[in-house]
Structure 1
Amino acid sequence: MTNWHQGELIEVEISDLSDTGDGVGRTSERVVFVADAVPGDRILARLLYVKPNYAQAKLQEILQPSPHRVRPSCIVADKCGGCQWQHVDYEYQTIAKRNQVIQALERIGGFVAPDVKPMLLAGDALGYRNKATYPIGKSIAGKVVAGYYQKGSHQIVNLNQCPVQDERLNILLREVKQDIQKQRWQPYDEKTHTGLIRHLGLRIGRRTGEILLTLVVKDPRIPEIETIAQEWLDRYPPLVGVMLNRNSDRTNSIFGRETRCIAGKPFLREEFAGLQFQVRGETFFQVYTEIAEALLQQIQSELSLKGDEVLLDAYCGIGTLSLPLAKQVKQVIGLELQPEAVEQAKQNAQLNGISNAEFYAGSVEELLPKIDVLPDIVILDPPRKGCDRTVITTLLKAKPKQIVYVSCKVSTLARDLKLLCQDGTYTLTTIQPADFFPQTAHVEAAAFLVLSH
């Protein structure tokens, strides 16, 4: 094997995309990961670090561009860390994501030729995000900036608009930043743990057009904040509420535990799957509304509900999946760690006249073994880390007839599916990937399992 050294230039042809978004090149020496490279590119890359079996390199020069390489829609796409794949044509993005799912299931899960359906698409690869949360900072010149972090750093790339978010949010991004400057509210400095304003959160109801604005602050005692919040409501008719979230910890977490409404309403209204939902600024709701609906329809189709089933929705959030299914089953039980989300789920059930749904606050691993009703169907939609081992063990004992596992991280999905299927208790029938996050390397997938015996 040739000795490679840090700083050395190598020529490599890119053949694949990794699940982190990097281009992947394979030589006789090692696998090489190169950010901003596209399969089909022949490039010169400078080695950043070298390991025995792989290397990380920086794109230095494109010797021959890939046919899948396109001009990004965003003028700062080469700097901003919000999107990894704006330079990759959209059709190829979807092919690469489906391959991610297949490779994870085969490599991590040990499944042979898994049945992975074509990617579920909604048509719009831009302007789809119903939520954006921007860190607030200061430029060298002392101007207030807001945007996303530069790739591989915590340096903010200042934005006045973002092509992947709903365009109706752009005016707030641009003008609220100016108001923070005018009011002389100091942006938070994570190095010194000083300043006030940490993040600007924006969320919109795609169907209703209602907008919520959330300021994440180190200290809620901000001069004139209530007055300015009311001015925002008067200035922007779609804005229905201004929230203040306190996060005084020295942490990378965006939201703190305490949120209060300082003007307008603490929620926006949204129409989803034929129901009315109340959605707060800090609780979880899928960022691509239309794709979430399409995936829900696919789940309904695969389950073939008869009306007499007990459905348990673990990690239920505000009831996004369980409430639309409630009228098609006998009973719904929802489990969710966040108490605020559970309260919203209950309110959303009441809002839609749904009386056969119960929601409980607590960790799924603690609550699931205590449920005294054996569910026929379990929906799992855990965070990126996947399910706690206790959850898997409990399901293998309870043996629901069907499990739907919805995941935003295919490596943990494959790991957990292997545990559910390894002793033959469950059979993986099919997997439906869905493009919840166009222009990024992230992919959502729903796996469908049936009880084998």
Structure 2
Amino acid sequence: MECLYFAAGRCRSCSLMAVPYLQQLQDKAEHCARLLADHTSLRFLPPQPSTESGFRNKAKMVISGTSESPNIGILDADGHGIDLRHCGVCAPELRAAFPVIERFIRQLGLIPYDVPKRKGELKHVIITLAPSGDLMVRWVLRTKKHFVALRDSLELFRKALPAAKVVSVNFLPEHKAVLEGEEEIVLTAAQTLGMELNGIGMHLRPQGFFQTNTEIAGALYRQARQWVTELEPASLWDLYCGVGGFALHCSASGRQVVGVESSAAAVKAAERSAADLGMENTRFVTGDATDFVVGQDQGPELVVVNPPRRGIGAVMADWLNDSQVKHVIYSSCNAVSLAKDLKRMGNLEPVEARVMDMFPQTNHYEVILRLQRKE
């Protein structure tokens, strides 16, 4: 993949842009194998490649410049805007939305936030693409100064961008390096974006998490489902479940499935998906995953964990190690923390692993690994 922004030195977010893609994939597989080399019984399946460009289903764009001439992109080291509206890793449908965003910024007189001066109103625009082609558009404001203008222009905005099924306004009053605040007002009748993968319909709320590479997310869920189908557990927990991707993919008649997630909005979305799919034996719980497991008298036959980059941590790892859980599927976005967690789970033997290239053009990747209890 070639990128004019990278070649010009304007953006180096994709640090591997100059490396041939097959070499990227091989390097990631070798990096993961080195980190997990102590587990001699572990067999690596062929790494799952991704489409090289246009794979991102989410654009988290900083708005800078002026109302008359806004930049849509990122900030440089000094806090000044760099326009990246033609970024090649963003899906074409996202790039097609940027001219509409720019036009409405100008027409409504939305004032971009100036980071060095700490002045202005419009901080970010976050756009998510569903497999159906529908979009979720989120305007992130410092205050409610522009809220009425955005609300009243909704009909015109959706006419200009018909794919925008969910439109919301988020408020981030603090000056800090985060994308969004706690308060969010959805302007459209539709409150969730439908995200169907592998025939499983899921619902994404504005502040919910979903993998940024739809193609690889689908492959990740299929791999987990394949393992679960082969093992046929009677009970399964999906910890750090988000909108329920693993739980919903691994649900089956007679199997008791519980998903645990700290985000109440994500749990609500997962519950709606389970209801839509008629999964009566699949339920979801709002709460901290570690607190949930230590409060249980007995674990299930199989546990899926999909933690943030820091990993599952000592308490969760020790609980899994000492429990009667027969199988664990660990989906990790950070093989370094995965290796650290595995050291605490000596009673569970890593059997199979697969690198999933969720983030082409960067050093990051996902790895999914299956463990079984030693006899």
TM tier, smaller? over 0.9
What residue in structure 2 maps to residue 157 of structure 1? 82
What residue in structure 1 maps to residue 119 of structure 2? 194
The one-letter code sitting in structure 2 at the alignment partner of 1:146 is: I
What residue in structure 2 maps to residue 257 of structure 1? 182
The one-letter code sitting in structure 2 at the alignment partner of 1:270 is: M
The one-letter code sitting in structure 1 at the alignment partner of 2:284 is: F
Q: CA deviation at 1:273?
A: 1.9
Q: Please report the TM-score for the alignment, with normalisation by the length of structure 2.
A: 0.93
The one-letter code sitting in structure 1 at the alignment partner of 2:5 is: V
The one-letter code sitting in structure 1 at the alignment partner of 2:277 is: N
Q: CA deviation at 1:91?
A: 0.7
The superposition leaves residues 30-79 of structure 1 with CA deviations (integer Å, 9 ceiling, x where unpaired) of: xxxxxxxxxxxxxxxxxxxxxxxxxxxxxxxxxxxxxxxxxx52210232
- Are residues 307 and 428 of structure 1, via their aligned partners in 2, closer, same or farther at CA, if it must alter by over 3 Å? closer
Question: Is residue 68–residue 109 contact of structure 2 (8 Å, CA) maintained in 1?
Answer: no
1:286 aligns with 2:286: no
| Correspondences of 1:167-316 after superposition (within 5 Å) | 167-206=92-131, 208-222=132-146, 223-305=148-230, 307=232, 309-316=234-241
The one-letter code sitting in structure 1 at the alignment partner of 2:71 is: V
Equivalent of 2:4 in 67, 71, 75: 75
Question: Is residue 241–residue 259 contact of structure 2 (8 Å, CA) maintained in 1?
Answer: yes
Question: Is residue 68–residue 106 contact of structure 2 (8 Å, CA) maintained in 1?
Answer: no
Corresponding residue SS for 1:263: coil
Q: CA deviation at 1:392?
A: 1.2
State the alpha-carbon separation in 1 of the partners of residues 373 and 78 from structure 2: 46
Range with bigger deviation, 228-237 or 330-339? 228-237
Corresponding residue SS for 1:148: strand
State the alpha-carbon separation in 1 of the partners of residues 41 and 349 from structure 2: 13
The superposition leaves residues 215-253 of structure 1 with CA deviations (integer Å, 9 ceiling, x where unpaired) of: 111113315111223211111221112111111123212
Corresponding residue SS for 1:248: coil
| Correspondences of 1:20-419 after superposition (within 5 Å) | 72-77=1-6, 78-106=9-37, 110-112=38-40, 114-122=42-50, 124-138=51-65, 143-150=69-76, 154-206=79-131, 208-222=132-146, 223-305=148-230, 307=232, 309-327=234-252, 330-419=255-344
Root-mean-square deviation over aligned CA pairs: 2.1
Q: CA deviation at 1:265?
A: 1.8
The one-letter code sitting in structure 1 at the alignment partner of 2:33 is: I
Q: Which runs of 5+ in 1 are unaligned?
A: 1-71
State the alpha-carbon separation in 1 of the partners of residues 352 and 261 from structure 2: 26
State the alpha-carbon separation in 2 of the partners of residues 372 and 250 from structure 1: 44
Structure number with greater CO (CA < 8 Å, separation at least 6) is 2
Question: Is residue 209–residue 238 contact of structure 1 (8 Å, CA) maintained in 2?
Answer: yes
State the alpha-carbon separation in 1 of the partners of residues 161 and 252 from structure 2: 37
Q: Which runs of 5+ in 2 are unaligned?
A: none
Which 4+ stretches in 1 moved above 4 angstroms?
Answer: 305-308
State the alpha-carbon separation in 2 of the partners of residues 174 and 164 from structure 1: 17
State the alpha-carbon separation in 2 of the partners of residues 229 and 154 from structure 1: 30
Question: Is residue 210–residue 238 contact of structure 1 (8 Å, CA) maintained in 2?
Answer: yes
The superposition leaves residues 275-307 of structure 1 with CA deviations (integer Å, 9 ceiling, x where unpaired) of: 222212321111122222222222222334465
The superposition leaves residues 326-345 of structure 1 with CA deviations (integer Å, 9 ceiling, x where unpaired) of: 12661111111111101111
Q: Please report the TM-score for the alignment, with normalisation by the length of structure 1.
A: 0.77
Range with bigger deviation, 433-442 or 264-273? 264-273
The one-letter code sitting in structure 2 at the alignment partner of 1:144 is: P
Range with bigger deviation, 373-382 or 248-257? 248-257
| Alignment length (residue pairs) | 372
Question: Is residue 161–residue 174 contact of structure 1 (8 Å, CA) maintained in 2?
Answer: no
Question: Is residue 318–residue 342 contact of structure 1 (8 Å, CA) maintained in 2?
Answer: yes
State the alpha-carbon separation in 2 of the partners of residues 81 and 242 from structure 1: 30
Question: Is residue 307–residue 329 contact of structure 1 (8 Å, CA) maintained in 2?
Answer: no
Range with bigger deviation, 254-263 or 196-205? 254-263
Q: CA deviation at 1:142?
A: 7.3
What residue in structure 1 maps to residue 365 of structure 2? 443
Corresponding residue SS for 1:200: strand
What residue in structure 2 maps to residue 23 of structure 1? none
Q: CA deviation at 1:101?
A: 0.7
Range with bigger deviation, 155-164 or 344-353? 155-164
